[in-house]
Amino acid sequence: MPTKPRSIVLDLYGDYLQYTAGEAKLAALVKLLSAFDIESASARMTLSRLKKQGWFETRRDGRETIYTLTDTMMRILTDGRSRIFNRQEEPWDGNWTMVLYQVPESERASREALRKNLAWMGFGQLSSSNWLAAHDRMDEARSLSSEHPDAIIDAFWTRTGSMKKDRDLARRCWDLETLAEDYRQFIKKYQAMGNAKFIKDTKGPRALALRTLLVGDARRFTFRDPQLPLELQPNDWPGREAYELFRHLHSELGPEARTYVESITGAKVNATPPRPGN
């Protein structure tokens, strides 16, 4: 099971509770978290901390406390789920988006935040201040200047004219060997769960817990996988197989997991699973 209650809370809202106006009663949240062997006191403490950190707004409804995602967290949730559920493997036009930046040595925190933003956007580090993305990320790169006013940021389109050099750049910007091995481990972990009998036998809180574990494991690839165009992917790249397995299990476990959530919250989860490209 996932070990971080805050991640579980985020996934509960992402897969279910955002479709019930982004809110749930505290008692229902505590009950849902018990499916992950999280005790009531720990669940309540986690939710209280997340409220202080700006995740939630609360209101009273009689004796009940209602937890509602803030607009900021809803935007973060939507962006993050788009990265988990959507893949870009369209044919490549040969262009790299390149970002060069300069940050004062005294602004180390800003430098680290900028690097995290670049990684989230799909850039890989070629050198200390030179990052590349194999997709058109020009708009995103230009937006960084307003988010990091203490940095000088330049963005370009560039190309090598050589597929051999392009594939070498991809290997230098990302640790593709380790990423491929982690994808294979993901496939090994979940492959046996994809058969019809396992899905049929997985009910209630078990379906909810397994589906949430699946999403949590898939999320760990979002910062690391640049979703390289087909031309740049190493031979026998397992990313697509892992993604299709994830989508299959997420879809098949959905009805049982949603039914269980509805039985606890008393609210209909009108969720349409995200589709590729949406």
Question: What's the rounded mean pLDDT across residues 155-176?
Answer: 96
**Does residue 85 register a pLDDT over 90?**
no
39's CB contacts (< 8 A; 6+ apart) are none
Cα distance between residue 208 and residue 33, in whole Å: 10
Residue 252: exposed, middle, or buried by beta-carbon count in 10 A (0-12, 13-18, 19+)? buried
- Judge whether 119 and 175 are in contact, CB under 8 Å: no
Question: What's the rounded mean pLDDT across residues 149-160?
Answer: 94
8's CB contacts (< 8 A; 6+ apart) are 2, 33, 36, 38, 212, 216
Q: For 190-220, how does the pLDDT look when each residue is reduced to its tens digit (9 = 90+)?
A: 998 888 888 999 999 999 999 999 999 999 8
* Average of per-residue pLDDT values in the chain: 91
138's CB contacts (< 8 A; 6+ apart) are 97, 155, 157
pLDDT of residue 3: 59
| Residue carrying the six token digits 């990320």 | 137
Region at 174 (left for phi over 0; alpha for psi -120 to 50; beta for the rest): beta
Q: Is the pTM of this model over 0.75?
A: yes
| Residue carrying the six token digits 């940050």 | 103
Cα distance between residue 176 and residue 174, in whole Å: 5
**Does residue 272 register a pLDDT over 60?**
no
Closest CA relative to residue 250, chosen from 4, 10, 16: 16
Top pLDDT among 116 and 89 is at 116
Question: pLDDT confidence of 82, banded at 50, 70, 90?
Answer: confident
Question: pLDDT confidence of 80, banded at 50, 70, 90?
Answer: confident
pLDDT of residue 271: 62
In b/e form, how buried is each residue of 68-79, taking b as 16+ CB within 10 angstroms? bbeeebeeebee
Cα distance between residue 251 and residue 72, in whole Å: 27
**Does residue 277 register a pLDDT over 60?**
no
Q: Which domains does the chain have, with CATH numbers?
A: 96-158 (3.30.70.240), 174-265 (no CATH)
Q: For 36-67, how does the pLDDT look when each residue is reduced to its tens digit (9 = 90+)?
A: 999 999 999 999 999 999 999 999 988 899 99
Three-class secondary structure of residue 57 per DSSP: strand
CA 124 to chain CA mean position, Å:
17
Region at 133 (left for phi over 0; alpha for psi -120 to 50; beta for the rest): beta
Cα distance between residue 156 and residue 84, in whole Å: 27
Q: Locate 147 and state its tokens.
A: 């988010």
Cα distance between residue 42 and residue 104, in whole Å: 42
**Does residue 2 register a pLDDT over 80?**
no
Question: What's the rounded mean pLDDT across residues 218-241?
Answer: 92
Written as one letter, the residue type at 8 is: I
Question: What's the rounded mean pLDDT across residues 17-38?
Answer: 93
